[in-house]
Structure 1
Amino acid sequence: MTPIHYKRATTLDELEQIRTLQIQNTSQYTSSEEQLQEGFVTVQHTVALLEQMNSACAHIIAKDNDSVVGFALVMLSLFRNEIKVLIPMFERIDKLVADHKTYVVMGQICVAKNYRRQGLFRGLYHFYKTELQHQFDYLITEVAAINPRSMQAHEAAGFKIIATYEEDGIVWNIIAWDWT
């Protein structure tokens, strides 16, 4: 087995592979049991939006040879209005983060099914921190309370809940990893 390589996304093919992996792991393509055990992703990005976000600050990916087997999206606040469901999160983050502090939003993290429980989740976040900790004070994201697998994994990586809110019947935990 070849070692997993962590890097920033640089090609359209890598972005298209992120999109494919994203679709395969949305709640509509996974069973309730699988969602509970493995987690799921909520938002689907277009390749065009992934490309815009990547141009502003490149996404973090895990590759096995030429295949993207995991990703952690980098979402700068300038994209706050591009995905409607994320607007309330950004509005709340702005109130939670002190004016003199900087943050980046981890737009979504996902590991291919055949690569889970091999340390890729932590590997993606470790590389994320290594690449961006000198530009930002915090890495912030949100996880649906109905996604306990994801909450546990994020807490193990170093995230702490900084706020909880309900939007359209879904309870969300805003979580932050303090890099200061």
Structure 2
Amino acid sequence: MIYYKQASSEQELEQILSLQQQNLIKSLTDQDREKEGFLTVEHSMEILKAMNDKCGHIIAVDNGDVVGYALCMHPSFADSIEVLRPMFAEINEVIQNQNSYMAMGQICVAKSHRGKGVFRNLYLTMKNRLPEGFDTIITEVDAKNKRSLAAHEAVGFRTLQVYPAGEKEWHLIILE
């Protein structure tokens, strides 16, 4: 049975990083990227742990194994990951109350557990566990990641802005 919680051990963080490695854009074939989606950002244990210490990452656990995660990225980490700096700059342009949102730093579901409601339940748990004073989740999705865009729309995200950063086009999206 799958249950949802905030990450609380180094072993869980290690499992997040292992699942991340399997789903990074560089680890997948073109066909898998198109069909299954992909991850862009690669985290170090140091930054993953620091983010978790500020606001626990949401994980889906099945039989003791992390089978999905949604990374909580407090706005105080806006300068911590270079590829995400443009996202925070865009958020600062379009959000009125810049202290009331939590950025979702990355979401991933193990291939074996896709299509079982894990994605939706990760976000539901994240929304229910936001720190006091936070009422919104904001993230961005690579425009080429059609599976992720559709999944986010299905759980209620709406697009705030589409913008270019680097060589990519990003959809800045919000769940209120």
- When normalised by structure 2's length, the TM-score is 0.97
Whether the aligned pair in 2 keeps the contact of 1:101 and 1:137 (CA below 8 Å) is no
Counterpart in 1 of 2:127?
129
Counterpart in 2 of 1:156?
154
Spell out, residue by residue over 1:135-172, the C-alpha distance to the aligned partner (whole angstroms, 9 max, x if none). Answer: 31210000000000000000001100001111122000
Pair 1:118–1:81, CA change in 2 (3 A): same
Whether the aligned pair in 2 keeps the contact of 1:111 and 1:120 (CA below 8 Å) is yes
Whether the aligned pair in 1 keeps the contact of 2:92 and 2:98 (CA below 8 Å) is no
Whether the aligned pair in 1 keeps the contact of 2:103 and 2:137 (CA below 8 Å) is yes
Q: Which sections of structure 2, spanning at least 5 residues, go unmatched?
A: none
Which amino acid in 2 is paired with 1:112? A
Spell out, residue by residue over 1:121-145, the C-alpha distance to the aligned partner (whole angstroms, 9 max, x if none). Answer: 0011111111117531210000000
Counterpart in 2 of 1:42?
40
Is 127-136 or 25-34 further displaced after alignment?
Answer: 127-136
Cα distance in 1 for partners of 2:78, 2:132 equals 22
Counterpart in 2 of 1:105?
103
Q: CA deviation at 1:101?
A: 5.8
RMSD of aligned alpha carbons: 1.2
Which amino acid in 2 is paired with 1:111? V
Pair 1:132–1:85, CA change in 2 (3 A): same
Counterpart in 2 of 1:59?
57
For these two proteins, the number of residue pairs brought into alignment is 176
Cα distance in 2 for partners of 1:72, 1:149 equals 16
Cα distance in 2 for partners of 1:154, 1:78 equals 24
Counterpart in 2 of 1:13?
11
Task: Please list every run of at least 4 consecutive aligned residues from structure 1 whose deviation after the TM superposition is greater than 4 angstroms.
Answer: none
Cα distance in 1 for partners of 2:76, 2:132 equals 19
Q: Which sections of structure 1, spanning at least 5 residues, go unmatched?
A: none
* 3-state SS in 2 of match to 1:85: helix
Identity %: 45
Spell out, residue by residue over 1:8-37, the C-alpha distance to the aligned partner (whole angstroms, 9 max, x if none). Answer: 000000000000100100011111111111
Whether the aligned pair in 1 keeps the contact of 2:75 and 2:99 (CA below 8 Å) is no
Counterpart in 2 of 1:177?
175
Alignment pair present for 1:147 and 2:154: no
Cα distance in 2 for partners of 1:114, 1:76 equals 29
- When normalised by structure 1's length, the TM-score is 0.94
